[in-house]
Structures are given as structure tokens and as C-alpha cells.
A and B are shown apart, each in its own frame.
Chain A
Amino acid sequence: MKEAVRSDPASRSRSGLDVGGRVRRRCNGRELRAMAVEFPDVAGHPNRLPFEGCLTLVDVPSDKAPSGSRGHRVVLTREAAEAAMPSLLGMAVDYKAGWDGHDARQKCGIITAAHLEGKKLLVRGYLFARDFPEFRGPEFRGPEFDRSQLHRTEALTGGLSAEAPTTMGMSYELADAHVADMRAPVWTLTRATFTGAAILLREKAAYRATSFHVRRGGARSAVHRASRVAAMPV
């Protein structure tokens, strides 16, 4: 898959993305932060199905102990999440038969954008819809906006509406997670690298507040505009 991160000055001024795809602007005393990799627009691409979801929460303890945490619930700090955000872009999303975990060998899509909205780490990307037709099912459909509502919502939230009525959620996979105090009942992760994500039943995720749904308009532009970033208080 060929990435096309805009790096020429003209493109940067148009898209707002720097070479790394990071957006940091101040607007009315609020900082806008997002990261994205831009892909060339391919109208009607049969194997690109846009998705969005809430991958995890920051500064909030997980509802259950994640796998690998030796029975401890974990807190991913905002600072750790922000620092790790570049590692998230370009990582794959996978799924497992039964929708109850990760299967790194069943990669069904790619994450192309991420940003923090409040305590939610929201992601967007594409599923390989032709290769994995199971994602065409109704359980993956998000809120049904008409076109005008969709544009208005995207203008307000960066296109990442965190509320999804589906039963599906997401789960991150971290490597080299740095724990502040291994003896603490709840582990605080102060540093980590994202190595992937999974689509699974929300009840099977360590964080129950995650979400996942496919977006309408699979033939829409694949370019994530920098104007579509959420406003986040500093």
C-alpha cells in the first residue's frame, strides 16, 4: 500500500498536515490535534470501506484487566497516547473468528487517522471490504446520517462521531509498554508503542466504552482533510 503523505509546502498549507501528518493549531484558545496519512482519492474503490471508532480511553482505568497485564487493570495516560499516536498510523486492524480477540494474521484493514477527543482516542481507516465481505453486515453500520448531517457533524467533530449504536468495539495492541509501578493495583502506562488494533465485540474489550462502525459512502474521498480535526481544550 502506497502512502502519500503530503510534504510539499502547497499541500501542507492546503491540508494543514506537516510531513508527519500531524496537525497542531490554536483556534479560539483551543488546540487542535490530529494525525493522519493521506491517500490518493479513488472514487468507487471496491476494496476500501471507511471505518471509524473509539480505540481506547486515556486517563481512565480499563474495565477489565487486558491480556498481558498479569491481572492488573491499566490506565493509558494522555501523554503516552499522544506520544504513541504516530506509531498507530499505518497499523493494521484485524479480527478473530467469534469476534472475541485479536488475530494478527487476519489483517482486514488499515488505520489512517487518529486523534484525541476528550478522553477518547478515535481512529479512522479503511477495511478491505472485498476481501472481507463480513463487514458489510448490519452490525457494523453506524449512525445513518444524510449527506448534510454528515458534513455538519464532521465539521464539528472532525468526522469522528464517537457514538456508535453497534455492539462492536475495538482493542489496541501495545508493545514495550512502560509501567510506572508494577506493584500498583492499576498499572499506569506511561510509554508504549501501538502495534495494531482489533475489531471485536464491545463486551470482549478491556475497555467497554470503545466503538466501531463502518462509515457511509465507501466511494467518498479517501483524503482526510486537516480541517476535520476535533477541537480539544489545552
Chain B
Amino acid sequence: MKEKTMLELTETMERLEAVAEALEQAAERIAEQQVALAAEAQQSVGRIVATVETAREAELERRLAEAEGQIASAERKIAELTAAAASPVVQGRVTLPAGMATMLAKQGVALDAGGSFPSMESSAIDGALASLSIEQRIAVKSELLRAGLMS
């Protein structure tokens, strides 16, 4: 009986020791987290100017962001077109990509029966593409040039 009680007490002590150790580890982790949070809260700011940001500045910033987006988009297109221009030009009548053909058809440029376009002058295309944005016009004309459909 005594032996059983002793065993139970020993087991209980061991469990308590384990729990105490776990608590100590948890407390250490919490302390480390608090230090990290305090360090995170204390930061340096590179530049502070004691002026109220004006609506004009906000507008300029917005427009700058828009312009940067447009430039990035244009650069991507230029890269695509450069890559396309590097590919060998196929001679003769060439069928344009479906998307390009649809865009041209919407602008009133007639398709041949085979879904291809006759070769045409640059000036003739300009009128047809007048409603497109400059980037779209560049893309269409580059595609036509690549396909050998525009002189």
C-alpha cells in the first residue's frame, strides 16, 4: 500500500515538474515576443516634413502612379513587340491572330474570305485605327508589319 502511494506521489511530482518546466518555457517565449513587439513598435522614419499634404500633391502623386503604370504597360508591350519582331517574317499572305483580326474587323477593316488581309498602306490603316489608343495602334501596326501585310 505504502509502495503504491509512493509511486503515485513520485508520478505526480514528475508530472508537476514537467508542467513547471513547460510553464517556464512559455514564459520565456512570451517575454521574447514582448521584446520583439516593443522593438517593432519603435522604428525610425526616414523623412518627416511639417507641412500638410495638399490636394494638389495628392493629385500629382495619383497621376504619377498612373503614368508609371502606363509606362510599365508600354514597356511590356514594347518587349513583346521586340520579341515578335525578332521572329522570322513569313512571306506572302499571312493570317493574323484571331484577336487582332477581330479588333481590325471592329474598326471596319475587311477580311478576306480566308480570314486574311490584303497588304495595305500605313496611311490607310491610320484612319481605320483612329479610335484605338496609341498603344493599341502600335500593337496592331506592328503585328501587320510582322505579318508582311503593311508596307
Chain A contacts to B: CB under 8 angstroms: 56, 62, 64-69, 74, 100-102, 171-183, 187, 189, 192, 195, 198, 200, 204-207
Contacts and interface: CB of A to CB of B under 8 A. Distances in A.
B50 A182 contact: no
Contacts of B45: 68-69, 176-177, 179, 187
Interface string B44-85: 111111111110110000000000000000000000000000
Interface of A is mostly: strand
Contact of A74 (B42, B43, B48): B48
Contact of B51 (A171, A178, A195): A171
Nearest to B52: A64
Contacts, number: 89
Contacts of B49: 66-68, 101-102, 171-174, 198
Contacts of B48: 66-69, 74, 173-174, 177, 189, 192
A62 B50 contact: yes
B41 interface: yes
A177 B44 contact: yes
A204 B54 CA distance: 8
B47 A205 contact: no
B50 A180 contact: no
Contacts of A206: 50-52
A101 B51 CA distance: 6
Given A100-B54, A101-B51, A182 B43 contact: yes
Contacts of A204: 51-52, 54
The 5 closest A-B pairs by CB, nearest first: A171-B50, A206-B50, A68-B48, A67-B49, A174-B48
Contacts of A189: 48
